[in-house]
Amino acid sequence: MAIAIMCSGGDAAGMNPAIKKFVDYVFKIGQEPYFIYDGLEGMIEGKIERATHEDVAGIVHLGGTILRSSRSKRFFEFEFRKKAFENLEKHNIDSLVVLGGDGSFRAMHQFYKDFSVPFVGIPATIDNDINATQYCLGVDTALNVIRDALDKIRDTASSFNRAFLVEVMGRDCGYLALMSAITSGAEICVIPEMEFKKQEHTARLRHEIKEGRRYILAVVSEGTKRSREVFDWLQDDVGIETRISILGHIQRGGNPTVQDRMMAYEFVITALNHLSVKKESAVMVGYKDGDFKLVDIEEVVSKPYEIPQKLLDDIKYLD
């Protein structure tokens, strides 16, 4: 059996450890490993090569993905999916492991319906916004990058009477902002999932400044599209000089943390153990309550991810 691995959508730290474990484990179970470069676009263009141990030597500590990635509008047209399938057939590839997010799994779900090529999805996105899993590859590394930035920004904020607004990634999900705000001791957190009670925060912060507060740290999720509004509010309503920092794609990079490396290994082993015995399937490896479970891809893409209420409730402790 020949099994290929590919990355799709945004890159995430943890992809390279997953790729290395994939090659090592596929050889261990007596199968043939293949790489698909450049994601869905690479599958359409036939960028497929047999993988070796040499290809993955020394990549565990690297961020990003040696396979590169892409987003593909063409893949949602049947003629290009058919071309991708024909390219897999040329190499006798009969199953896939796909590192990606919600959009990638929707694309592969349709591919499976068309051509019945078994695949296992591994959730890999720093946004942590995939249904049916509590954790996605890359999240811990991204959170540590944000933590480091917030700690440094707080250092300079405490030297002046200023507010610092930091915008973090997450697309339409506020998970990164929420977790970062809680663990950095931020005074303000603005996320799509919760109402921002501006009046209440204005009164609180004015009182705290009067009582001696010298600086404010605000974390805003990009999905709210409210960074400018919060900036103006801090300056005009709260009455404190404000600076804004947009962390941007720095959050995608960096050496994978120990947690992301270990999670990558477990995700891949679970995926390959399943493919070695289950020839027909379209599933994702989910992580829940300390265990790795296979979830039908239909369930994964049927509804959006929701941040656990317990974490949302923790915002109140910022007040």
Expressed in angstroms, the distance from the first to the final Cα of the chain is: 57
Pull the structure tokens for residue 122.
């591994």
Catalytic residue flag (residue 127): yes
| Dihedral (CA of 245, 140, 254, 96) sign | negative
H or E stretch covering 23:
helix 15-28
| Strand intervals (E) in 78-158 | 93-100, 119-123
Q: What count of residues does the chain have?
A: 319
Greatest alpha-carbon pair distance for the chain in Å reads 72
Q: Indicate the residue type of 140.
A: D
Q: What is the dihedral of CA 3, 254, 186, 313, to 10 degrees?
A: 10
| Strand intervals (E) in 156-301 | 162-168, 188-190, 216-221, 241-246, 282-288, 291-296
CB atoms within 10 A of CB 221: 28
**Catalytic, out of 38, 127, 129, 260:** 127
Is 264 exposed, middle or buried (CB count within 10 Å of its CB: 0-12, 13-18, 19+)? buried
Is 75 exposed, middle or buried (CB count within 10 Å of its CB: 0-12, 13-18, 19+)? buried
Pull the structure tokens for residue 299.
């369930």
Give catalytic residue positions. 127
